[in-house]
Amino acid sequence: MDFVIPTGISDLGLGGLVALGLLLIGLGRLIPRSVHVDRISDLKEQIAEKNEQLGFLQAALEKRDEQIDQLISNGAVAATALEGIRREAARA
């Protein structure tokens, strides 16, 4: 596979290459490896924090669901009791 360099790029010279490098850095297309590694490690830390927060939120949702299930079962018992009281009152 041959790599073809366009004529305009090969005529840049040292000053043109420096200018191109600065342009790429300014546009965010060319960054030093240490900056890239730091950014990736920061992103991994953020992901770990978000996963930890997600775990806490999931635990809270499970607890809420359990409480709702308990309230529903208690509500059903209360409704049955009230229905029984209504029937007894209607009979008397």
Q: Where are the domains of the chain?
A: 1-30, 32-91
Query: Is 60 exceeded by the pLDDT of residue 5?
Result: no
Which residue is listed with tokens 């790429």?
Answer: 24
Can you say whether the dihedral through the CA atoms of 28, 29, 30, 33 is positive or negative? positive
Angstrom distance (rounded) from CA 45 to CA 4: 41
Angstrom distance (rounded) from CA 31 to CA 15: 19
91 vs 47: which has the higher pLDDT: 47
Q: How many CA atoms lie within 13 A of 91 on its CB side?
A: 6
What confidence tens digit (pLDDT) does each residue in 32-88 have? 788 889 999 999 999 999 999 999 999 999 999 999 988 888 888 888 888 888 888
What pLDDT does residue 2 have? 55
Amino acid at 33: R
User: What's the predicted TM-score (pTM) here?
Assistant: 0.50
What pLDDT does residue 1 have? 47
Counting DSSP H helices and E strands in the chain, the numbers are 3, 0
